[in-house]
A and B are shown apart, each in its own frame.
Chain A
Amino acid sequence: MNADPFMPLFVLLSSLVPSLVIFGLSDRQAGLRRWLYLGAEVVKLLLVVVMAERAAAGAVYEFSVPLLPGAELVLRAGPLALLFLVLSAGLWLLTTIYANGYMAGTPHQSRFYGFFGLCVTATAGVAMAGNLLTFFFFYELLTLVTYPLVVHTQSEAALRAGRTYLRYAIAGGTALLAGVIWLYVLAGAVPFTEGGALAAAGLGEQRAALTAIFVLLILGLGVKSALVPLHGWLPAAMVAPAPVSALLHAVAVVKAGAFGVLRVVYEVFGVSLAQELGVLGPLAVAAAITILYGSWMALQQDELKKRLAYSTVSQLAYITLGVSIAGAEATAGGIVHLVHHGVMKITLFFCAGVIAKTLGLTRISELDGVARRLPATMVAFSVAALGMMGLPPLAGFVTKWYLGLGAAENGELWPLAVLVLSTVLNAAYFLPIIYRAWFKAPPGPFTEKLPPSRFETRWVLLLPPLVTASLTVLVGLLATTELGALQWVSVIAERELPYAPEDIIP
């Protein structure tokens, strides 16, 4: 079906242009800035929703311009890209509402919102990239525009975290570039293709080179998706303001890495070629180690945001695990976790931000009885945490169910053991927080950091986590209906992957 080729470009411009304009506004023009920004977000959300609806009916949006000889900048919005786009556009809107409350009264807000918007722009580019060059282009852009957000407070700790982030990200980007160029020399621009672009290229005798390229690409992508041992930057980046952590963990940076792994395995190499090269087994092992190590490290942390960060390390590897265990169910479990983890983790970070901003508490050991003061916040937190553990019918359950099903179908039992062990660890690091907050008595009166308001905190801080917590319930409950992410994944499976939708939702 013919679709407007400029739509993908408009999606980029809808966040790029307002962000650039905002750099020019001073903090005195906060009102104008707010409305410009929110307007841009609503436009972007509408654009991607309209595109998703038409894509469901079979439309494919493609826009391309020549960038280098033989290599075009291709933006292509198929179902997989739109899954990521809808997620990022929706959560961007919620995060901005939240940021309006969180950042109020702090300096350099224009810079903050400007780079925040650029970060979302780069994410949209990563989502829509139609070949490896374009993917690399936006992936590196993402590194650059996230750096100012990580060091936003310009404190000693923030600068240190920024340095760590850059070291990892630029080294990773270099490995990725080497892989991309080597592959370009072997096989040309490598458009992302259903079933794998290389499967048809007849590179049978290049096994060693292809394996090396796969390793380089995964090294590069593994940094952003925090695959152990390339994860070191993620816990350090926790010094960023809460809205940044929320977006970084839910959609932008880490998901860009996981999304790249998905593209490389399914649409560059293709499952059959990757299996033939024998690279998926080691990738699955790396993912399993990351799942367990991340959970284990989360358990050791007393700082709430750090615990959440290690939890991200662990949860992201579910996506990689799903990708590397071939088969329709495991794949569905991996892809759907992009969305499920997004809504759950953003809720948790929103809540952590509310607690820090309202009561000045950042450590888990200080959270005794905090639910008495912030009941609604802690309801949202608890829902998301239980979802992370995989309690049915919440979002995380759907993921784990499909991952387990996929592993069992393949006759591999060790991933099941990893899933069970990780669920136990998830419970071990989330339940104590819930227990403390709800069942322990507060050690004394809380120190209020914000002026009293009608609700338990500023409504702009409270609304976003409540919305995302509700989504955690809804995407789980409605998983197999038209509105669920899983349903959309079956569309992806049909359109972009070598699977039939019936294999996912019978």
Chain B
Amino acid sequence: MTPVDASLWPFDLIIWPIVLPLIGATLSFVLPRLAVPLGVSTAFVTLLSVAALLLEVWAVGAESYALGGWAAPLGIALYADGLSVVMLLMAGAVGALISVYAAGYFKLGALDIAIFWPLWLFLWAALNAIFLSNDIFNLYVGLELMGISAVGLVVVAGGRTAVVAGTRYLLVSLIGSLAYLLGVALLYGAFGTLDLDTLAASITPVPAAWAAVALITVGMALKTALFPLHFWLPPTHASAPAPVSALLSGLVAKASFYLLLRLWFSVFPAALTPAVVHLIGLLGAFGILWGSALALRQSRLKLLIAYSTVAQIGYLFVLFPLAGPNGWGSEAWSGGVIQAFSHAFAKAAMFLSAGTLAYAVGDDGIESLGGVTKHLPLSVVAFGLAGVSLIGLPPSGGFTAKWLLLLAAFGTGQWWHALAILVGSLLAAGYVFRVVQVALSGGQGRAARLTPRRLEVASLTLALIALLLGFASAPLLQLLSIGVPA
């Protein structure tokens, strides 16, 4: 990590992706009547600030920033490298499009809830804070803020199922963060620092470090829903309103994964044993197969998509054994990050189009979708194109991810992971086309409720980005390589 002092812009950019959504959240909380325009404009302004930061990192390299001018051991350090800005971009672009969708969606029927906006913007600020923090305690603060606002979003629709799911989610979230906090305390006790760079330099394989790694890993695996700790994800993601499901599956799951990625590769390598690395990879591989197989068996569309998330998260963890403990910037590592990135777009597109479809036909049973192509062709197309990325067919981002992961699997001779990845693709094709087939069949279809075109356009845009992301692989990979230690 080589922070550079030079700057492209006359002011510090790194704090704006955190500050802007916080301002937006406060304003939309104080002025609920204006929540929608405030929320949507905050989304685009935040996206702009992310784009500006991205340009700066692209032009001058990784940069760090000490909040309030205090240097690392005392002050709060922010750090933006290629990985950070790629994650910020993911949250920014997906978040902005979900905001556009939500602005239309929450006007439908009885779903007029202004509280969505402050919660979502707080969540966004927390996400960006996690992606930019260079300090394990601040990461904890980000995690808690994210967890609390996510729980709020799950119960936002009201109703018994939502409250049950929300309570379960709250517990999982708290246990995960608590495990993380214990790990942080152990690390601080043993090495006396919270800063990632200092910690990376001083960490040694002592029992306290092992315990900390174990606690943090289990906590984050629980929050990311790694098999077999995924039990809470399907009911939670499936019971939330569509834009919330899209946020949870697309973005929130990625934050805890990001944390694990950064800590495992830049802080923990000295404290890791090969057995742990292989274990987490095997759990990922099982997650791919288990999640896909269950997705095939679902009769409700949103549950199908949620199980697909369990499977797609499995791919993320396969990168650990493929990259090896020092594999920051390797093929497998980049493949995993691109998987997280493109899955955010594809899965958000899927949940949003499912939301439109479910609203139009009145329920989210897959069999109810017969003939729905007649009324909502764009939503079905969005679902299908997002599916292409999940299956990993070219030219999608999912294809790039699978290509890189498979290269690493064949290259390191870990053929069982290659097998899991390939079988996962086949199963994904199975559950995606199962839905498409039903949507194409069945004559006239049910009389569908009218839905604003804006909803369809938002989900289709997300799906198209996921589909065409393969063409942007080269610049994306170049961006990711910024800040990779030589």
Contacts and interface: CB of A to CB of B under 8 A. Distances in A.
Contact of A159 (B425, B429, B437): B437
B474 A66 contact: yes
Interface in B408-430: 410-411, 418, 422, 425-426, 429
A140 B393 contact: yes
Interface stretch (B41-49, B313-321, B399-407): B399-407
Given A151-B440, A178-B422, A185-B410, A140 B394 contact: yes
A68 interface: yes
A156 interface: yes
A136 interface: yes
B294 interface: no
B422 A177 contact: yes
B470 A170 contact: no
Contacts of B440: 151, 154, 159
B474 A67 contact: yes
Contact of B426 (A141, A156, A174, A184): A174
A328 B306 CA distance: 56
Contact of B403 (A66, A151, A156, A181): A181
A170 B391 contact: yes
B441 interface: yes
Interface in A132-179: 136-137, 140-141, 143-144, 151, 154, 156, 159, 162-163, 166, 170-171, 173-174, 177-178
Interface in A101-115: none
Interface string A49-81: 000000000000000001111010000000000
Contact of B410 (A66, A170, A171, A181): A181
Contact of B433 (A68, A163, A178, A182): A163
A413 B91 CA distance: 66
Contacts of A163: 433, 437
Contacts of A140: 393-394
B471 A159 contact: no
Contacts of A67: 470-471, 473-474
Contacts of B422: 174, 177-178
B394 A137 contact: yes
B426 A137 contact: no
Contacts of B212: none
A166 B393 CA distance: 13
Interface string B370-411: 000100000000000000100101110000101110110011
Contact of A181 (B406, B426, B433): B406
B66 interface: no
A69 B406 contact: no
A162 to B, nearest CB: 7
Given A151-B440, A171-B426, A181-B410, A68 B394 contact: no
A162 B406 CA distance: 28
B394 A136 contact: yes
Contacts of A159: 437, 440-441
B393 A68 contact: no
Given A136-B394, A154-B440, A185-B407, A69 B474 contact: yes
Contact of A68 (B388, B418, B474): B474
B311 to A, nearest CB: 16
Contacts of B437: 151, 159, 162-163
* Chain A binding surface, main DSSP class: helix
Given A68-B474, A137-B394, A181-B407, A170 B441 contact: no
Contacts, number: 66
A154 B441 contact: yes
B387 to A, nearest CB: 10
B429 A68 contact: no
Contacts of B410: 181-182, 184-185
Given A68-B400, A151-B440, A163-B433, A185 B473 contact: no
A233 to B, nearest CB: 14
B115 interface: no
A136 B392 CA distance: 12
Interface string A181-223: 1101100000000000000000000000000000000000000
B429 A170 contact: yes
* Chain B binding surface, main DSSP class: helix
Contacts of B474: 66-69
Contacts of B391: 170
Interface string B149-162: 00000000000000
B441 A68 contact: no
A387 to B, nearest CB: 37
B443 to A, nearest CB: 9
Interface in B430-455: 433, 437, 440-441
Given A67-B470, A68-B403, A184-B407, A173 B393 contact: yes
Contact of B404 (A68, A177, A182): A68
B467 to A, nearest CB: 10
Nearest to B402: A177
Nearest to B400: A68
A171 B427 CA distance: 10
A173 B394 CA distance: 11
Contacts of B141: none
B477 interface: yes
B337 to A, nearest CB: 14
A451 to B, nearest CB: 28
A69 B477 contact: yes
A158 to B, nearest CB: 9
Contacts of B406: 177-178, 181
A137 B392 CA distance: 11
A496 B404 CA distance: 31
A67 B331 CA distance: 14
A182 B391 CA distance: 19
B400 A144 contact: no
Nearest to A134: B394
Nearest to A143: B393
Contacts of B473: 67-68
B433 A166 contact: yes
Nearest to A154: B440
A163 B391 CA distance: 16
Contacts of B477: 68-69
A42 to B, nearest CB: 28
Nearest to A155: B441
Nearest to A107: B374
Contacts of B426: 170-171, 174
Contacts of B373: 154
Interface-centre pick from B395, B403, B411 (highest chain A CB count, 10 A): B403
Nearest to B381: A23
A13 B326 CA distance: 43
A166 B394 contact: no
Given A144-B388, A174-B426, A137 B441 contact: no
A166 B429 contact: yes
Given A144-B388, A181-B406, A185-B411, A156 B441 contact: yes
A64 to B, nearest CB: 12
Contacts of B433: 163, 166
25 contacts: A67-B473, A68-B474, A69-B331, A69-B477, A137-B394, A140-B394, A143-B393, A144-B388, A151-B437, A154-B373, A154-B440, A156-B441, A159-B437, A159-B440, A159-B441, A163-B437, A170-B426, A177-B402, A177-B406, A178-B418, A181-B406, A181-B410, A181-B418, A184-B410, A185-B411
Q: Which 8 residue pairs of A and B lie closest in terms of their CB atoms, listed nearest first? A: A185-B410, A137-B394, A170-B429, A181-B406, A66-B474, A185-B411, A140-B393, A174-B422
Interface of A: 66-69, 71, 136-137, 140-141, 143-144, 151, 154, 156, 159, 162-163, 166, 170-171, 173-174, 177-178, 181-182, 184-185
Given A144-B393, A184-B410, A185-B407, 18 more contacts: A67-B473, A68-B400, A68-B403, A68-B404, A68-B474, A140-B393, A141-B393, A143-B393, A151-B437, A154-B373, A159-B437, A163-B437, A170-B425, A171-B426, A173-B393, A174-B426, A178-B406, A185-B410
